Amino acid sequence: MKEKEELELFDYIFMIWKRKILIIVMTLVCIIIGVIISLRFSETYISSALIRIGQGITTIEPTPLEEPKNLVLTIPLEYGIAISTGYGIRVDMQKGTPLIRIFVEGAEKRKTIEFLKIVLEKLIEHHGKLSEEIIYSYRVLVKGVGEYIEVVGEDMAQFALTEQNIKDDVINDLDRIGILDSMRSRRINLDAIKREAEYKIQLNSLRTNKTKIVGGIETKKNLWS
């Protein structure tokens, strides 16, 4: 009985030895399949878009509606809830420019593009409201200065007529002094004209330089997420 068991064990060893090449090949195949599956599960897609931040209130020099460095932090927090779990969002800023690039990464190419579009729409809508508020404030300023210039312009016309009447000696001396003092005090202010021109330039600039996508959406495969 013992000899029989030893014989069977020997047969097994001999069989394994004869089929060692097949075993090695099968082992390698299993390893390769495992690697492929692993890579497949780690494969993701990244969709991105370049955004130019719109112009905000200008003082000495143009400023963006929101600082790019702040958007790097706030966009993932504020707009991240708009995308599904398992999809990530990040923002890179282009130093020294009003440009940022928004990335959405996830397992499905279609969804990364879809979620990125949602984020872009929300950001552009929000910045559009900010721009309109600033544009409205400049419109009020332009209107106020314009009305002032119009009133003073009428006064200037009246002043010219009064000066002519004075020359023609139609007005008595006392009235002449009072009218001249009143008219001179309301001569048109050149600074007001300058301000009106500056406000109009700002209005045009704000309308032109709103937050917008530069180029289109780019998508690439990321194998090592």
Mean pLDDT by 10-residue block, N- to C-terminus, for the chain (225 residues)? 50 60 66 59 85 79 84 88 81 90 92 93 90 78 63 56 55 56 54 65 76 92 65
What the block records as the tokens of 154 is 């009428």
What the block records as the tokens of 133 is 């508020």
pLDDT of residue 14: 59
Within-domain flag for 118:
no
pLDDT of residue 147: 61
Closest CA to 84 of 115, 109, 108, 59: 115
Within-domain flag for 17:
yes
61 close to 52: Cβ distance less than 8 angstroms: no
pLDDT of residue 89: 92
pLDDT of residue 131: 84
Within-domain flag for 16:
yes
> What DSSP element (H or E) covers 51?
strand 44-52
Closest CA to 64 of 52, 51, 73, 55: 55
Within-domain flag for 54:
no
pLDDT of residue 3: 46
Within-domain flag for 104:
no
Closest CA to 68 of 44, 39, 104, 100: 100
Per DSSP, which regions of 23-179 are E strands? 44-52, 88-93, 99-106
First-to-last C-alpha distance (Å) of the chain = 59
pLDDT of residue 203: 72
Within-domain flag for 91:
no
Can you give the residue range of the structural domain that contains 6? 1-31
Query: What's the number of domains the chain is made of?
Result: 2
Within-domain flag for 10:
yes
Within-domain flag for 117:
no
